[in-house]
Amino acid sequence: DGIAYCQMIFDANGRPIDFTYLRANKNFEPLTGLKDVVGKNVTQIIPGITTSNPELFEIYGRVASTGIPEDFEIHVDSLDRWFFVSAYSIKKNFFVAVFQNITERKLMEKKIEDAKIAARNVFEDLQAEQKELALTRAHTEAILASIGEGVITVDLLGTITRMNQAAQLLLGWKEEDAIGKLLFDLVPIENEKGKLIEHADRPTSIALLAGTSTTTTTTTTDEAWRGSLSMIKTIPGVYYYIRKDKTRFPAGISVTPVISENTVVGAVELFRDITKEREIDKVKTEFVSLASHQLLGPITAIKWHSEMLLSGNAGPLSARQRNFCEEMLQSSKEMIDLVDALLNVSRLELGALDLKLEPTDVVAVINQIITVQKGEIARKNISFTIRVADDLPVILADQNLLRSVVINILSNALKYTPPKGTIECSVRRVKVGERVDGRKINEDSIIIKIADTGCGIPAHQQDKIFSKLFRADNVRMLNSGGTGLGLYIVKLIMDRFGGLVWFESQEQKGTTFFVSIPLVHKILDVSL
Ligand code: ADP
């Protein structure tokens, strides 16, 4: 302890204003940091003490006058130290101060107090977060319960973490039995023919790996072509989920990866039973097929008889009669084209088309088509060029389908390019991994490119261009005639070929279509 013996000094009104150190022990100096205090007044040794610590004079004054001891803690500002002091008086106006330096204890106390406050703040934050979490969880529960589609969530490894009621009903599994199991083991998926879809090929694995949403083809509606939007990967073909009791149902599947801090941490798989949709679609397609077949007979008869009349078989025609007959012939030809297109669509959709694969010289097929179109090219005064690489292999393909693809794209280019425009066609071979028009080609392929300087496709309608019966606004106004089925057929065929078709286009400038046909043929079953 430090000890100082002091004499109190009072002013004329008896107020304590200073004190003189009469004695101090040897601990005084190390504890206070003050030297040679004996004989000096505190106001001399610690200037400013009167204003910084007026209570010191009050307390010592009281003790020295009354003789009643007092204990107190004080922070002496100018020394920046805390002291615990016991003050006694053995003689009136004199006092002894016994003190300890408690700065460290005080600092510790302050730290503890700060820590307490910090802990309290953290606790309060946690409570708020917990509340919010509970709210979010309640929302999620409600959303999951109210969704009519099956929802399964998985972690990065494909372990099931949640399964909503709809999924439980659709699959026959209880959520508590499913959680913790691998989705791949618990709910196998197979294709139309009953072949199990391997782990890596499941939509969920693809979504987890690619970090992009993945959907499967369900019907022939627009949905099937959402693949053209780069964020969503579409898998052609229909997948079947196997229930707990081993029965199966066709499903429309959509998987979205769960991304946290830029990393994929899991996925949400959404699915619904599309048995009914597929039945309705099939009935629709069958109806179109039947109606088209029935229409073909009468229309062909009209065409044939108009041709007979025009050839003079039924006697000479007046100019007016000839005119009517030509109108009739033209209309019947257009109608036959439409019915043909409809028949092709229904055959492709029903999968009723037998592929006839034979060694095919792609360029020869294209040249045949150009020969047929030569008249129209000349009539419109189109500058037409074709560039062919000299390393093109013969590929195994169905020539009729390949012809259909090229005819549709080339006749569009001709139809939608004004007179004196340009059409450039090129055929080349690309190796796996090469890029064509910014797009990476996944296998060795032949690329057919057809570029025109026509009216282009409006940007806001480009995502619908492969949909059934779709025609863009700018060509409707041209009155150019068309069914809106050509590109739909092209897309169906390319899906069947395992190839790709895409385009880039700018209104008023032109359109370039790309077709990529894999050299090693993969026939995909994309029928409904
Ligand atoms: P259509 O019988 O109307 O040509 P398609 O299915 O072949 O039907 O094409 C669908 C639509 O795509 C067309 O109506 C047109 O709006 C657009 N389109 C296709 N090719 C071209 C092109 N080369 N230039 C401009 N628009 C095109």
Q: Tens digits of per-residue pLDDT, 362-421?
A: 999 999 999 999 999 999 999 999 999 988 888 888 888 999 999 999 999 999 999 999
Q: How far apart are CA 164 and CA 425, in angstroms?
A: 53
Give me the residues of the chain with pLDDT under 70, please: 212-237, 352, 521-528
Q: How far apart are CA 181 and CA 478, in angstroms?
A: 59
The pLDDT assigned to 499 comes to 86
Q: How far apart are CA 145 and CA 149, in angstroms?
A: 10
Name the residue among 183, 191, 180 with its Cα closest to residue 167: 183
The CA 452 to ligand 1 mean position distance, Å, reads 12
The CA 84 to ligand 1 mean position distance, Å, reads 95
Using a 6 Å cutoff on CB, does residue 486 contact ligand 1?
A: yes
Name the residue among 43, 37, 36 with its Cα closest to residue 9: 43
Using a 6 Å cutoff on CB, does residue 450 contact ligand 1?
A: no
Q: How far apart are CA 508 and CA 505, in angstroms?
A: 9
The CA 421 to ligand 1 mean position distance, Å, reads 17
Using a 6 Å cutoff on CB, does residue 452 contact ligand 1?
A: yes
- Ligand 1 atom 7: the closest Cα is on which residue? 486
The CA 446 to ligand 1 mean position distance, Å, reads 23
- Ligand 1 atom 25: the closest Cα is on which residue? 456
Using a 6 Å cutoff on CB, does residue 224 contact ligand 1?
A: no
99: how many CB neighbours lie within 10 A of its CB? 21
Using a 6 Å cutoff on CB, does residue 456 contact ligand 1?
A: yes
Q: 270: exposed, middle or buried (C-beta count within 10 Å: 0-12, 13-18, 19+)?
A: buried
Name the residue among 315, 189, 309, 313 with its Cα closest to residue 242: 189
The CA 410 to ligand 1 mean position distance, Å, reads 10
Q: What is the separation of C-alpha 507 from the centre of its chain, rounded to a whole number of angstroms?
A: 29
Using a 6 Å cutoff on CB, does residue 458 contact ligand 1?
A: no
The pLDDT assigned to 216 comes to 67
- How many helices and strands, by DSSP H and E, does the chain display? 15, 22
The pLDDT assigned to 236 comes to 59
- Ligand 1 atom 21: the closest Cα is on which residue? 412
Structural contact between residues 219 and 251, judged by C-beta atoms closer than 8 angstroms: no
The pLDDT assigned to 349 comes to 81
The CA 486 to ligand 1 mean position distance, Å, reads 8
The pLDDT assigned to 222 comes to 36
